[in-house]
Amino acid sequence: MVGVKPGGAEQARSRRRGLIRLLAAWILLPIFFWATGGSLLWPQAWIYCAVLLVPMTIFTVWMVKHDPSFFDRRFKKKEKEQAQARLQSLAVPLFLSVFILPGLDCRFGWSDPPLAFVVVALLLTLVSYLMILRVFLENRWAGRTVETWGDQKVIDTGPYAVVRHPMYTAVMLLLLVTPVALDSWWGVIGALVHYPIFYFRIRNEEDVLLRELAGYEEYRARVRYRLTHFVW
């Protein structure tokens, strides 16, 4: 009888979880845009889906092979920190508004950004999403929740050598350009209203890292800026 490799069952479960989430993204994201926009005649939405889903697929397949436990960390939703849980309850509807408002805009024709703006926004969508994936490759502990892990170490290479929270930088850019990439100005409001939540989330996250992650205080002294140079 062939023995089960230690950790093999957990890794197989993590691989299945990652692939199922990928399949769900391919199905649900187009359905979401069709439901909110009310039409298949929304080319910006389908281009946007491709811009996100193609690199997502490549990344997921790579992680399934090389680091399947990433999906367990990334898909964990329950926050340990009460402050983060409260912020999350505020962030979810604001995050969704960035995608829902462009759909309603498409349905009712509220705004019409110039084509050049839409093209640039789609390119910046790709850039910002690739930045997020780059962070994931550099930092295997980059989860959705604010917490530390038993074997976690301070990452100070790649984008972390430039700013302390490069994933937030990329996500904030992604949220800002997404509505324009979807041919709408109105969704930008949801992105801007969302921005203060990032401020409070990062402040709390740094408190947690200072308290629980060895070496983070020294790293913070070396890398001065949180999101972008000369701003914050």
What pLDDT, on a 0 to 100 scale, did the predictor assign at position 52?
96
Structure-token pair, residue 23: 């399949």
User: Is there a domain that residue 90 lies in?
Assistant: yes
Domain of 148 in residue numbering reads as 8-222
175 within some domain: yes
Q: Is residue 231 part of a domain?
A: no
Give me the number of domains the chain comprises: 1
In a domain, 3, yes or no: no
Q: Which of 29-43, 63-77, 118-132, 158-172 has the lowest mean pLDDT?
A: 63-77
3-state secondary structure the chain: CCCCCCCHHHHHHHHHHHHHHHHHHHHHHHHHHHHHHCCCCCHHHHHHHHHHHHHHHHHHHHHHHHCCCHHHHHCCCCCCCHHHHHHHHHHHHHHHHHHHHHHHHHHHCCCCCCHHHHHHHHHHHHHHHHHHHHHHHHCCCCCCCCCCCCCCCCCCCHHHHCCCCHHHHHHHHHHHHHHHHCCCCCHHHHHHHHHHHHHHHHHHHHHHHHHHCCCHHHHHHHCCCCCCCCCC
Residue 85: the pLDDT is 77
What is the pLDDT at residue 178?
97
Average pLDDT of the segment spanning 172-200: 93
pTM, whole model, 2 decimals? 0.88
- pLDDT tens, 78-113? 666 677 778 788 888 888 999 999 999 999 999 999
Predicted pLDDT at 154: 86
| 48 inside domain | yes
Residue in the structure block whose two tokens are 């960035």? 98
The span from the CA of 51 to the CA of 34, in Å, is 17
Question: Residue 20 and residue 216: Cα distance in Å, rounded?
Answer: 35
Structural domain contains residue 98: yes
pLDDT band of residue 45 (cuts 50, 70, 90) is very high
Does 229 fall in a domain?
Answer: no
Contact 71, 17 (CB under 8 A): yes
pLDDT of res. 6: 45
**Mean pLDDT on 113-130:** 97
- Maximum average pLDDT range among 7-16, 75-84, 111-120, 151-160: 111-120
**pLDDT surpasses 60 at 5:** no
Is residue 87 included in any domain, yes or no? yes
CB 147 within 8 A of CB 80: yes
**18-22, 141-145, 161-165, 169-173, range with the lowest pLDDT:** 141-145
Nearest Cα to Cα of residue 194 among 221, 220, 173: 173
CATH at residue 196: 1.20.120.1630
Query: Residues 201, 148: contact at Cβ < 8 Å?
Result: no
Taking the C-alpha atoms of residue 109 and residue 38, their distance in angstroms, rounded to an integer, is 12
CA dist 231 and 28 (Å) reads 37
